[in-house]
Chain A
Amino acid sequence: MEDFKKTMDTIHAPNDLLKRTMEKMHEENERLQKEGEMAPVIEVASRNDNRKKISTRFTQWRVQIVAAAAALVLIVGGATIYRNQQTSVPWTTPSDMDAMASDNDSSFELEKTMKGKMMDMYHNGAKTKDIKGVPVLLVYDEEKDIRYAYWETETGSGWCESDPGETEKDFMTMVKNGIH
């Protein structure tokens, strides 16, 4: 490597290049110093510009965020409404129809049972309080009804005040005979 060193020792920057570079360095140095004197004014101006940029950027961000949120709400709301429309069909689903049918059947059966019991009571004179499965309000109290009808006939009040028809007279007679 001694040869390498010797060779490198012989390499020198040309003098004219050195002088030219020196001149350019001086020019650059003067230019930088002039810029440095103007730096405070430029710095303040650039700082204001930066503030404007930051505030503008912040405003833009806010607008974008609000717009995105609004769009999101609209999309979610629209999707929910659409889904509800697709899934909810009132009065028409098979399950609803079945439920309604079963309800109707049960109420029909109940009504039928009540009618049958009441007819039995009317014809057979059975005690209504012994009947099970029939609502109390609907129980026909035969004795009370007969007593009330007799009292109306005796006093001439109520619907028997006017001249009663044949059917009603028969009914009164039957009631009197039944009680006494």
Chain B
Amino acid sequence: MESRYVDNQRLDELITTYSDMVYRIAMMRCQSREDAEDVYQEVFIKLVRYAGQLESDEHIKAWLIRVTINQCNSLNTSSWKKKTSSFDDMLENGQEPSEVDEGIERAGEGDEMLQVVRQLKPEYRDVIYLFYYEDYSIRQISDALHETEANVRVRLTRARKKLKSMMEEKGMGPHGGF
């Protein structure tokens, strides 16, 4: 019978491998760095309970993406969060991005690009991140998000169009190829 538990060494390997991925998704999705850290911890603690049931590394990766997005959604829709100021509100109030997100190192135009992506709807951010950064295929994204492939394709197309128009508004060049 397969053991439901994994040892601490295996857990350390998993958190080291997927730490940045989970943190990035959380940073893309959450409205503040504190929220992103909360989500990060919650996701990996959940992983302790379910790691023994997940078969492969690919399975674990897809599970982590899915749980991170769900955790962000539940955090964003909680009544507590509605009473606190959002990350975007802070940006609109003229605060410097460095004050908002200490985890992001400033990298010239790339930082601006990140801000544009963050202005997209959450579901558009997910597909953009998974498609362009994680190099996921449409099928893999649909598996990870539990959505149909057609739905993922539509989301991706709309996200590209929206991103392109936002970049043109900000006077950013169309380099990067959308």
Chain A residues packing against B (C-beta within 8 Å): 1-8, 10-14, 17-18, 20-22, 24-26, 28-29, 32-33, 36
Contact = CB atoms under 8 A, between A and B. Distances in A.
Interface of B: 4-8, 11-12, 15-16, 19-20, 22-24, 27, 37, 40-41, 44-45, 47-49, 103-105, 107, 109-114, 117, 128-129, 132-133, 175-178
Contacts of A17: 23, 37, 40-41
A4 B159 CA distance: 14
Contact of A5 (B104, B133, B175): B133
Given A6-B110, A7-B104, A18 B27 contact: no
Given A11-B24, A36-B4, A4 B40 contact: no
Contact of B110 (A10, A25, A29): A10
Given A26-B8, A32-B48, A13 B110 contact: no
29 contacts: A1-B177, A2-B176, A7-B104, A7-B114, A8-B114, A10-B104, A10-B105, A10-B110, A11-B20, A11-B23, A11-B103, A11-B105, A12-B23, A12-B103, A13-B19, A13-B40, A13-B103, A21-B44, A25-B45, A25-B48, A26-B11, A28-B45, A28-B48, A29-B5, A29-B7, A29-B8, A29-B11, A29-B48, A36-B4
A12 B89 CA distance: 24
Contact of A24 (B41, B107, B129): B41
A10 B178 CA distance: 22
Contacts of A8: 24, 114, 129, 133
Contacts, number: 100
A62 B158 CA distance: 58
Given A12-B20, A18-B19, A21-B15, A4 B114 contact: yes
B110 A7 contact: yes
Contacts of B8: 25-26, 29
Nearest to A4: B113
Given A7-B104, A32-B5, 10 more contacts: A1-B132, A3-B113, A3-B176, A4-B110, A4-B117, A10-B107, A11-B24, A22-B11, A22-B12, A25-B15
